[in-house]
């Protein structure tokens, strides 16, 4: 055996031991992540701290009904004289909590179901046909049905939005698993007697992380929209908790005389969803350039 | 002779192409000079990364201009310099004055357009012809490349044709305007050996009839021996040697050429001592594997990938399984490791039938049979260090972390790598080094049987020779039984004691390697051996 191979390996080896620092730097350099993330952090701060600094969003003031925006009430007031500014700030909480909770829960459930469906042949058909069934039900109708069955609370709204989001995550994870399970390194692990849970954890799960993070941002944005739609239809968060959806719903009747009731929560919703989607695009580009080209 | 025919079809003078910053070298190709005359086939040979494809793509003007910049030299096509041409002028020349055939005919053809229309498109762009005249010309060209029933085949889609037929369509596309220069970039590498022989024959025949100059890029010296008039040898972007075929193949002067040609495995099996009849390590009886089944959503099409395969593998011997794609040789290998479940039959390991064993019982036997795969780039988990990959198996079977680590270090030395490299990630190694790591990973399990599934097929010829030597070495050192799956008859001749030839899932011939090669019994074996490129050439030997 010629022994130049030992020198060769030293010469060939790239010195960067780990790829993560460059990945983090890449994320900060990405303008989409920078601006979208910045905007999102700003909204999160407003949602977290804002309600302590503003007026009580549920305080009625019959004298100041339907006032237009002024120095006193920045965004004006609604038909019960409640301060729209306080309500919009408080509503940001609901949107972000719903968006993030739905993203985390549906990605969590979808990941487990997707891994099992992709790897365990016997369960694949059962899980996927169930998911097909869920996908064929219109998301809004399903949510309305669930809420009318169990009553409208923050919890049921989140659950109602999670259920139709799960199949999308399951499909994504399953697709990744189906490609990766054919990789020779997975087969080598099988041949080496590695048990199934360890194969999933070591060799398959890491491949799903990048696409899942990206998918989570889209789920988050779509959940915030669905929450607002439900609120607008009167099937969402109960009216005593201000949310962008129910503020707009209540303002609908007065749209022609005081359009600001709908305008400001609408702006808040649009900007937040936009910020989340921009972050998602940026993450997609930095985490996996190959996916970026495919989508 | 008039002046025009004296001008070479293509003349490359001192061509250098810059690589982008941060690449492993400054130039993709540097100071490359050679010429191709009328009716001449010039083979450009070299290993991966030698710059042979960059040369071809630069001539065609198909290199990404942002990344690869030609900085010096001239490319003269019929005396006209191509480097100064605009994109529009180049577009007019491509197809008309030069045509190109690519390696993978399936991806080079558009899957949703009829093959006839794809050829006709070239005429539509470059020639002013009526639709009916175009169709007539296309069918003539298809006849010219010996496609059966061209009128019928005109309306076929690429997936309806065989690999060889698709490559003929590609050649027809390149030749329909009768360009003076044909560039063929590894045109037969993706084809089976018998198809390869036919396509090589076709290229030779066509260039003789039309007087085309051919630039033929290949890594396979067997192909060079069969087709080349002259040979240009490239290494790391530079031309190291050029000359006529016989000069290069039988009396190369540059050390790199000598090394390359010396690495080409001979088709004549060496004399091997007949091993004593040792204990059986692995046995397959009436092994069947059928794909497809009749069910609610299945259309009931069945493929018999392996039919009644009988196989005995003894300790200390290497059994080769050879055949073309679709012969079922990999199916057999994967059944043996139980990566796929055989439909019926027995697989005996250490006296136990594991063919239908449940995974929980099977685990104990997994240790005894290990496999090395073809693709070194996908065989190791890119997110784990090679050390983690090697110790995974032994630790599954209860070895402690420190013991597994020291076993891994020892194995790294045996496969010719530095033990310190265990902490590195796979992307930091070359293909040959990764294949060594895969061998170390398999050996870490202390198996009795090692299965090599096309384990050297993706490697360059010089690296291939080293890995083959390593496999031979570890087989002897650990007294392993080795099942060696390959499509390459040269490789099989060098490493196998016995050989099994498979065709469409059936074993058609089996015997001692030297006997099968010297006196093949089955017609299929004979056709395989006859199709092996360069079978009549004696490559220079240096040992």
For residue B213, what are the β-bridge partners?
A: B181
Interface residue A28 vs chain B (CB under 8 A): no
Task: Return the residue of A nearest to B450 by Cα.
Answer: A191
How many domains, chain B? 2
Is A5 among the domain residues? no
Q: What does the mean pLDDT of chain A come to?
A: 82
**pLDDT tens digits, residue range A268-289?**
899 999 999 998 888 888 876 5
Q: What is the pLDDT of residues B222-243, one digit of tens each?
A: 899 999 999 999 999 999 999 9
Q: What is the DSSP string of B276-296?
A: P---EEEEEEEEEEEE--B-S
* Structure tokens given for A277: 């989607």
Task: Give the chain A residue nearest B395 (alpha carbons).
Answer: A194
Interchain pair B383, A12: CB under 8 A: no
Q: In angstroms, how far apart are the furthest CA atoms of chain A?
A: 95
A197 CB neighbours in chain B (<8 A) are: none
Question: Does B427 contact A6 at a Cβ distance shorter than 8 Å?
Answer: no
Of A239, A243, A236, give the one whose Cα is nearest residue A266. A243
Residue A215: inside a domain: yes
In a domain, B381, yes or no: no
Angle made by CA atoms B469, B471, B472, in degrees to the nearest 5: 65
In this structure, is residue A9 part of a structural domain?
no
CATH number, domain of A75, equals: 1.10.3720.10
Please indicate, yes or no, whether residues B359 and B213 belong to a single structural domain of this protein.
no
B284 domain residue, yes or no = yes
Q: Is A90 exposed, middle or buried (0-12, 13-18, 19+ CB in 10 A)?
A: buried
Q: Is the pLDDT at A9 greater than 60, yes or no? A: no
Q: Quick one: CA torsion of A40, A45, A51, A55, rounded to 10 degrees?
A: -90
* Residue with the larger pLDDT of the pair B133 and B49: B133
Q: Can you tell me whether residue B446 is helix, strand or coil?
A: coil
Distance from C-alpha of B421 to C-alpha of B423, rounded to nearest angstrom: 5
Same domain, B223 and B358: no
- Interface A-B, measured as beta-carbon pairs within 8 A, has a size of 89
Among candidates B392, B424, B429 on the partner chain, residue whose Cβ is nearest the Cβ of A192: B392
In a domain, B79, yes or no: yes
Indicate the average pLDDT of chain B.
88
User: Quick check: B49 pLDDT over 70?
Assistant: yes
**Cα–Cα distance between B413 and A226 in angstroms, integer?**
60
Question: Of the candidates A61, A84, A89, A29, which has an alpha carbon nearest to the alpha carbon of residue A283?
Answer: A29
For range B421-439, the mean pLDDT: 91
Q: Which residue has the higher pLDDT, A69 or A113?
A: A113
Residue B229: alpha-carbon gap to chain centroid: 23
B319 and B245 in one domain? no
| Domains held by chain A: number | 1
pLDDT tens per residue, range B489-523:
999 999 999 999 999 889 999 999 999 999 999 99
- The per-residue pLDDT for range B175-190, each reduced to its tens digit, is 888 899 999 998 888 8
Residues of A in contact with B375 (CB under 8 A): 184
| Residue A82 · residue A73 · CB < 8 Å | no
Q: Do B222 and B362 belong to one domain?
A: no
- Percent of chain B beyond pLDDT 70? 97
pLDDT in tens, B317-360: 999 999 988 888 989 999 999 998 899 999 998 888 988 888 88
B229: domain range?
Answer: 1-89+207-264
Q: Are residues B361 and B225 in the same domain?
A: no
| pLDDT tens column, A156-199 | 889 888 988 999 999 999 999 999 988 999 999 999 989 988 99
A189 CB within 8 Å of a chain B CB: yes
A241 CB-near residues (< 8 Å, 6+ apart): A90, A94, A154
Dihedral in degrees, nearest 10, Cα atoms B29, B35, B41, B43 = -20
Chain A: residue whose CA lies nearest to B420: A10
Among the partner residues B371, B378, B470, nearest to A183 by beta-carbon distance = B378
Q: Which domain holds residue A71?
A: 46-294
Mutate to test the interface with A, among B364, B392, B439 (most CBs of A within 10 A): B392
Residues B230, B355, single domain; the answer is: no
Residue entry with tokens 């990048």: A210
Please check whether residue B317 lies inside any domain of the structure: yes
In a domain, A168, yes or no: yes
- Are B366 and A192 in contact (CB < 8 Å)? yes
CATH number where B8 lies: 3.40.50.300
Q: Based on the domain organization, do B480 and B354 belong to the same domain?
A: yes
Q: What is the DSSP letter of B387?
A: H
Contact flag A14-B396 (C-beta cutoff 8 Å): no
Which of B369, B424, B438 minimises the CB distance to A13? B424
**Which residue of B337, B374, B381 to mutate against A (max A Cβ within 10 Å)?**
B381
Q: How far is A183 from chain B (nearest CA, A)?
A: 6
Q: How many CB atoms lie within 10 A of CB B513?
A: 22
- Looking at this predicted complex, what is its ipTM? 0.81
Domain membership of residue A71 (yes or no) is: yes
Picking from B91, B125, B103, the residue whose alpha carbon sits closest to that of residue B117 is: B125
Closest approach of B298 to chain A, Cα-based (Å): 14
Can you tell me the mean pLDDT for B476-495?
Answer: 92
Task: Tell me how far apart the alpha carbons of residues B48 and B147 are, in angstroms, rounded to a whole number.
Answer: 32
């Amino acid at each position: 055996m010629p022994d130049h191979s030992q020198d060769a390996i030293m010469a060939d080896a790239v010195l960067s031991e780990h790829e993560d620092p460059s990945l983090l730097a890449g994320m900060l350099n990405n303008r989409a992540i920078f601006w979208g993330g910045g905007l999102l952090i700003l909204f999160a701060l407003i949602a977290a701290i804002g309600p302590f600094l503003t007026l009580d969003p549920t305080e009625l003031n019959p004298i100041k009904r339907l006032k237009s925006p002024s120095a006193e009430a920045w965004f004006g007031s609604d038909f019960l004289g409640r301060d729209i500014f306080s309500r919009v700030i408080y509503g940001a909480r609901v949107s972000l909590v719903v968006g993030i909770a739905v993203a985390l829960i549906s990605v969590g459930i979808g990941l487990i179901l997707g891994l099992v469906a992709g790897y365990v042949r016997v369960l694949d058909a059962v899980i996927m046909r169930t998911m097909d069934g869920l996908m064929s039900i219109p998301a809004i109708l399903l949510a309305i049905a669930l809420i009318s069955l169990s009553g409208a609370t923050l919890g049921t709204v989140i659950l109602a939005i999670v259920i139709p989001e799960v199949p999308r995550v399951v499909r994504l994870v399953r697709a990744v698993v189906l490609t990766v399970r054919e990789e020779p390194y997975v087969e080598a692990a099988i041949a080496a007697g590695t048990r199934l849970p360890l194969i999933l954890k070591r060799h398959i799960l890491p491949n799903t992380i990048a696409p899942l993070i990206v998918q989570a941002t889209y789920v988050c944005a779509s959940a915030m929209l669905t929450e607002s739609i439900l609120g607008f239809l009167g099937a969402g968060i109960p009216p005593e908790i201000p949310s962008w959806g129910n503020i707009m719903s209540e303002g609908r009747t007065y749209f022609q005389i005081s359009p600001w009731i709908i305008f400001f929560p609408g702006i808040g919703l649009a900007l937040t969803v936009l910020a989340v989607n921009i972050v998602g695009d940026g993450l997609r580009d930095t985490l996996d350039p190959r996916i970026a080209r495919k989508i | 002779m008039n002046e025009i025919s004296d001008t070479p079809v293509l003349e490359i003078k001192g061509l250098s192409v810059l690589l982008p910053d941060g690449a492993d070298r400054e130039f993709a190709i540097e100071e490359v000079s050679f010429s191709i005359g009328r009716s001449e086939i010039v083979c450009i040979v070299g290993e991966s990364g030698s710059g042979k494809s960059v040369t071809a793509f630069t001539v065609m003007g198909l290199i990404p201009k942002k990344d690869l910049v030609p900085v010096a030299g001239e490319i003269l096509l019929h005396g006209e310099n191509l480097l100064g041409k605009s994109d529009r002028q180049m577009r007019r020349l491509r197809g008309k004055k030069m045509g190109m055939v690519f390696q993978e005919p399936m991806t080079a053809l558009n899957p949703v357009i009829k093959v006839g229309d794809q050829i006709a498109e070239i005429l539509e762009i470059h020639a002013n012809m009526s639709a009916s005249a175009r169709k007539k010309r296309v069918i003539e060209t298809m006849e010219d490349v010996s496609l059966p029933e061209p009128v019928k085949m005109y309306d076929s889609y690429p997936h309806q044709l065989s690999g060889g037929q698709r490559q003929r369509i590609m050649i027809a596309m390149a030749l329909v305007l009768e360009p003076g220069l044909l560039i063929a970039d590894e045109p037969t590498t993706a084809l089976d050996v018998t198809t390869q022989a036919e396509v090589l024959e076709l290229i030779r025949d066509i260039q003789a009839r039309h007087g085309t100059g051919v630039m033929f890029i290949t890594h396979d010296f067997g192909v060079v021996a069969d087709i080349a008039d002259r040979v240009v040898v490239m290494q790391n972007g530079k031309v190291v040697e050029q000359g006529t075929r016989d000069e290069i193949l039988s009396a190369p002067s540059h050390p790199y050429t000598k090394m390359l040609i010396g690495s080409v495995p001979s088709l004549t099996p060496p004399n091997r001592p007949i091993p004593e009849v040792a204990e059986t390590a692995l046995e397959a009886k009436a092994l069947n594997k059928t794909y497809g089944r009749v069910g609610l959503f299945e259309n009931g099409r069945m493929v018999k990938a392996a039919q009644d395969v009988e196989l005995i593998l003894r300790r200390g011997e290497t059994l080769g399984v050879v055949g073309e794609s679709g012969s079922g040789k990999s199916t057999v290998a994967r059944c043996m490791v139980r990566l796929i479940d055989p439909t019926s039959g027995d697989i005996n390991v250490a006296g136990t039938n594991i063919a239908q064993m449940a995974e929980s019982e099977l685990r104990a036997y997994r240790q005894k049979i290990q496999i090395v795969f073809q693709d070194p780039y996908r065989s190791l988990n890119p997110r784990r260090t090679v050390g983690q990959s090697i110790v995974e198996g032994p630790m599954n079977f209860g070895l402690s972390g420190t013991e597994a680590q020291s076993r891994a270090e020892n194995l790294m030395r045996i496969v010719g790598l530095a033990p310190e490299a265990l902490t590195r990630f796979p992307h930091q190694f070359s293909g040959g080094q990764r294949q060594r790591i895969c061998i170390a990973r398999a050996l870490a399990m202390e198996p009795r049987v090692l299965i090599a599934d096309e384990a050297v097929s993706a490697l360059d010829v010089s690296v291939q020779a080293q890995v083959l030597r390593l496999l031979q070495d570890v087989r002897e050192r650990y007294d392993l039984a080795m099942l060696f799956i390959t499509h390459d008859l040269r490789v099989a001749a060098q490493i196998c004691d016995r050989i099994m030839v498979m065709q469409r899932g059936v074993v058609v011939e089996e015997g001692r390697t030297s006997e099968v090669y010297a006196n093949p019994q089955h017609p299929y074996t004979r056709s395989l051996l006859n199709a092996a490129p360069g079978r009549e050439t004696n490559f220079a030997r240096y040992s």
